Chains A and B, each alone.
Chain A
Amino acid sequence: ILSYPRHPVLKKRDDFEDVLEERRRSSDLRYALRCYTPTLYKGLVPCKVSMLKSIVLQSDHLQCVIKQVSSESGDSTECVAEEASLILDEMAHRMQLSTVRFFVFTLSKAFKRLFRSVCVNEEGIQRLQQAVQEHPVVLLPSHRSYMDFLMMSYLLYMFDLPLPVIAAGMDFMSMKFIGEMLRMSGAFFIRRSFGGDKLYWAVFSEYVKTMLRKGYAPIEFFLEGTRSRTCKSLTPKTGLLNIVMEPFFKGELFDVSLVPVSISYERVLEESLYARELLGVPKPKESTSGLLKARRVLSEDYGSMHVYFGHPVSVRSLAEGKIKRSQYNLLPRYIPQKPSVDTHEFLNDAAFRLVRIQEENMVLKPWVLIATLLLQNPDGMDLSSLTEQTDWLRHLALAFGAFLDWPDHEACSEVISCSLALHRRLLSVSAGHVQLSVTDAPQVETTPEEAVFQRAVVVLSCASYRNQILHVFLRPALLAVAMQSANSSRKDDIYNCFNFLRNMFSNEFILCPGDSVQDFEEACYLLMKRGVLQVLEHEIVMSASGQSTLAFLCSVLEPFLQGYQVVCRYLCEETNENLTEKEFIPAVRSFCFVSLSSDLQKNALAALLRLKAVRKVKV
């Protein structure tokens, strides 16, 4: 299931249906109170929330770790057990159907105000209905907005699917009332970092595994770990993935179904918030009062939203031939074991592939194409040439397999003016000339710094839309840059260059480790099919007509190349020996304006560390 189709273009995707349509026609209250009879897992062991807690605390695994911790710390086992119980209390969800119903009611109201439509692929829902009965299910949505998990639970309720339990960051818990509400609708809270805390890890992993083994509810978590502020998929984390796969590895479950879900927004609610964050304005702390203040967002139009439920991926078939389950034969299964090197590699690979499935099923709106072009033309474009180039880009994107939601039977210019209207906060249109600019409440007395900042917010907001389509162009773009910089038409040289770039950017984009050759071939294939290149046995030759495509692809990567260059230059020229990590980002930001995004700076530093160009010295 996870091997890429050699011809990504031919991929078949399901049709969408707007689920809000029905909501606009009938009573939300009656809907929220309707009879909810979810499809159940065939192996379900009925279990109450309170029972769940005692099962976890009594489990061999946790008991074993409690003893270990007690003998290491010298505290009594009762004391450690008490601590474990407190951790669990802090963590556990208290799912209640009544709370869910309340959310369904309010969210129905909210969604109808926010979105023109919420589109779901119903075939995906049907597949999920099937999967839920067969094996325990893990839902893996992409994470671009706070909305994501609310929307997931909302949809599952809507389609009579079992409501998921959701791994949420502790930040939410601190929100008075709302935190508890989320808890009662199935969220469980985990600390952001608990690296060394054995007991915490044991409680957490046992809690998740118990729910999975009992078939209690689908487990939902975000592979990316956190919301992507850039709308670019983040390098996946493997910790939770390991936890949900382990019951299969150890034979406790026959199989586990992983369901990647792609949630895409025409306009992200947190749009400008993210840009500010990337520019170093600290994230507003999650608080109920903050939420109330943010009511403002309700008055705006966020266009449509798409949720695509991907094909369930069986952990069993994923692991076939890669994981030797008999490695767990010689140790009692309750004794915690660090994943072996093989397992770790497998987890990492699986996580990347799952994120790629998420990426591929993300619906792209026309605005994404427009944003890409506008960013490449900082001085703006004439509406006519924008229309022409958008149309050209649309065909290129489709040829590369983009999941583009382009309205049928509508003139290109029509589509473009609709998009421009929706995103008017980011641009100005005057006399047929379109330009990115700040139109939001222009203050009379802005200092130059503020003006720069305002502009940066717009650019980064816009970039977050361009980023949504990067995965479509990424491989061909790497090839285009490789051809440009290799200064040779020999295939080997180009490949080496491609490989270097791929390596360099593997913190920035989702590039499956070990897929270098495959990616190269895919890029060659796509460009060849487009008539841009001719790939001979030992050479790659550009065709005459391919110039513009290659130029476009190069400029897709341009900002990233520049950004990385700035970081390198800064490190070479400005740094004295000891630079602390904390100082790094503000320092680079003040060094050069081009590399604005802290995300890019972090990725660049991580890449340099990985490539051993920079060394980390613990002080």
Chain B
Amino acid sequence: SKRFLSEGLSVLSQQKSMVVYHLIYFAIGCYETAYKLGLSLSFRQEIMKWNGWGYSDSRFLFNKKGQAEFTGKRYRLSGLILPSLKDWFEGTFGANLQHKSPATVIAPPNLNEPFIEDLKAAGVAASHDPEDRVFRAHGHCLHEIFALREGRIGRVPDMVVWPSCHSDVEKIVELACKHNVCLIPYGGGTSVSSALECPHEETRSIVSLDTSQMNRILWIDEKNLTAHVEAGIIGQDLERQLNEHGYCTGHEPDSMEFSSLGGWVATRASGMKKNIYGNIEDLVVHIKMVTPRGVIEKSCLGPRMSTGPDIHHFILGSEGTLGVVTEVTMKIRPIPEYQKYGSVVFPNFQQGVACLREVARQRCAPASIRLMDNEQFQFGHALKPQVSSIFTSFLDGLKKFYITKFKGFDPHHLCVATLLFEGDRGKVLQHEKQVYDIAAKFGGLAAGEDNGQRGYMLTFVIAYLRDLGMDYYVIGESFETSVPWDRVLDLCRNVKERIVRECKERGVQFPPLSTCRVTQTYDAGACVYFYFAFNYRGLSDPVHVYEQVEHAAREEILANGGSLSHHHGVGKLRKEWMKESVSGVGLGMLKSVKEYVDPQNIFGNRNLL
């Protein structure tokens, strides 16, 4: 119970009601009692938007003076005025203010009474409150958020259950099998693959299994540098709690503020600093998952095994179709002594990619290295806060002059790489020099720590920006792929151009924002992230247009040698390409696993297969 208090106080300190709740909870000391008292179990739900990204107190808005600002106190950007955002916004899309008020009507739940009876008897917390259900009915795909804002809500889960530990999950799954109820595991709710959408064709009662209460670090083993953690824990909590012990996992996906460990495992997540720590599949040592057939896990914590195909790989990326990941043993590392951001300006994207390729060839990538294209560089500039003094503004002007006039970089072609170094101080500085030396060979100029840091901060706030866009008739989304090095440039150019062309063909009146960045480097290729947004004024069905364009963009990615997904997963959004991606036999293999593990299709979210 102590953990609840500490968490409540640290994460939710502004929320008085939550503190009160936690105090009550602490006093009573009993989960079920709290539930019976009618208090909500979903803390996060109360501090987060129900129809947009992230925390309720953090959002972009245009103030009365028409200047953009970012509200709240959570981010580096919070409370700051962003003078250039408006111009960029208008220049890119053309803005027009009009809000829409949602009119939400939720269908009454389709409850499986015997299941509820048994669940109560087993003492598992549950709810069929409409708010709880709607909150867990979606991820963050554009069409999902758009529908919420318009007040159009499709099928939502009929009830929500909150297991508090592994054995609770076992009970729930057993009862679900007994009463033929459909279970959809829910972690952080940050899916962008329609994975959380309730299948329309599902006639059984749908139960959202929220893992948020399974959020403890069960033990830390300093000898082997591993930690055993419940899978419902949210990324930032895991990191903070490990930090208290002097450790970290180093797994930092862009969604880490909200996404859960179980979700990472279920989607094969990738972290920003994977160059040092590895992706999720490199980080896990042991996974425990409850399936309708029973629990699947390995018998020891050996670091590598040759025991036939790795069963972890049936679980990693299974997207909630086989069961619920309940506990994970993962590698931990001591917190690095020193961190340093950095950035490099390149005359053009080609040079930038060539530099990243060379860095990967020499296997000297820093913890993170990302390359934004020119459009994104300009967007980054739009998010530059108001400068504090004339001197800073003068300095900025000087820098700009140096790069564009003295070095001859074309502001419409130059692009920026952001860097993050980690480790002990001496090595970081040495490493930094090595990377900057390589960059120099490709015409790169060091552009300061501040630009680098802002680049990474952007990652966290960019999702908020979509909500602002939607207020002004702009919709957008991001998607990703991985591709061999030699095709990176061609793929980026073709996909961006395809987006522009498709928008035009479908009657989008303003040229869309179509931009990309290379976010990860590997020995044999890179991960590329695309952002795409357009002003939808004049379109009768903007979401449909959006979906057609995204579909075309994915076709283009596949035609250019890109993968179906690097880390977002397949969900239901990209299902149609699975066979093409993994071959008929491959898909058959996965299907037969599903057939064996879950013959009743209890885990019926219909993702992936």
Contacts and interface: CB of A to CB of B under 8 A. Distances in A.
B486 A326 contact: no
Contact of B486 (A254, A324, A325, A333): A333
B490 interface: yes
A326 B580 contact: yes
B561 A254 contact: no
Given A254-B497, A332-B486, A326 B558 contact: yes
Interface string A243-287: 000000001101000000000000000000000000000000000
Interface in B533-581: 558-561, 580
Contacts of A333: 486-487
Contact of B490 (A252, A324, A326, A332): A252
Interface in A301-334: 324-326, 328-329, 332-333
B493 A254 contact: yes
Contacts of B560: 251, 325
A365 to B, nearest CB: 40
- The CB with the most chain A CB atoms within 10 A, among B490, B497, B559, is that of B559
B498 interface: yes
Interface string B428-469: 000000000000000000000000000000000000000000
Contacts of B110: none
Given A332-B486, A333-B486, A251 B494 contact: yes
A326 B498 contact: no
A251 B580 contact: no
A124 B580 CA distance: 41
Main secondary structure on A side of the interface with B: loop
A304 to B, nearest CB: 40
Interface in B471-520: 486-487, 490-491, 493-494, 497-498
B494 A254 contact: yes
B493 A328 contact: no
A378 to B, nearest CB: 56
Contacts of B493: 254
A220 to B, nearest CB: 25
A192 B494 CA distance: 35
B247 to A, nearest CB: 41
A251 B486 contact: no
A251 B487 CA distance: 8
A326 B491 CA distance: 12
A251 B491 CA distance: 7
A559 B561 CA distance: 53
Contact of A329 (B494, B497, B498, B561): B561
Given A325-B560, A326-B561, A326-B580, A254 B498 contact: yes
A19 to B, nearest CB: 33
A328 B561 contact: yes
Contacts of A328: 561
A355 to B, nearest CB: 28
A417 B498 CA distance: 56
Interface in B94-120: none
Contacts of B498: 254
A328 B494 CA distance: 15
By CB atoms of chain B within 10 A, which of A251, A252, A325, A332 has the most?
A: A251
A514 B487 CA distance: 36
Contacts of A332: 486
Nearest to A248: B494
A329 B487 CA distance: 10
Interface in B116-154: none
Nearest to B498: A254
A325 B559 contact: yes
Contacts of B559: 251, 324-326
B561 A251 contact: yes
Nearest to B493: A254
A129 B580 CA distance: 39
Contacts of A251: 487, 490-491, 494, 559-561
Most B Cβ at <10 Å: residue of A254, A328, A333:
A254
Nearest to B500: A254
Contacts of B491: 251
Interface string A181-207: 000000000000000000000000000
A442 B487 CA distance: 69
A329 B562 CA distance: 8
B325 to A, nearest CB: 32
Contacts of A325: 559-560
Nearest to A323: B559
B607 to A, nearest CB: 23
A328 B558 CA distance: 11
A254 B497 CA distance: 7
Contacts of B497: 254
Interface string A203-244: 000000000000000000000000000000000000000000
Contacts of B558: 326
A251 B498 CA distance: 12
A324 B555 CA distance: 10
A254 to B, nearest CB: 5
B295 to A, nearest CB: 39
B561 to A, nearest CB: 4
Interface string A15-43: 00000000000000000000000000000
A324 B580 CA distance: 11
Interface of B: 486-487, 490-491, 493-494, 497-498, 558-561, 580
Given A251-B487, A254-B497, 10 more contacts: A251-B490, A251-B491, A251-B560, A252-B490, A254-B493, A254-B498, A325-B560, A326-B558, A326-B561, A328-B561
18 contacts: A251-B490, A251-B491, A251-B494, A251-B561, A252-B490, A254-B493, A254-B494, A254-B497, A324-B559, A325-B559, A325-B560, A326-B558, A326-B559, A326-B561, A326-B580, A329-B561, A332-B486, A333-B486
In order of increasing CB-CB distance, the 7 nearest A-B pairs are A325-B559, A251-B560, A329-B561, A251-B490, A254-B497, A254-B494, A326-B559
Interface of A: 251-252, 254, 324-326, 328-329, 332-333
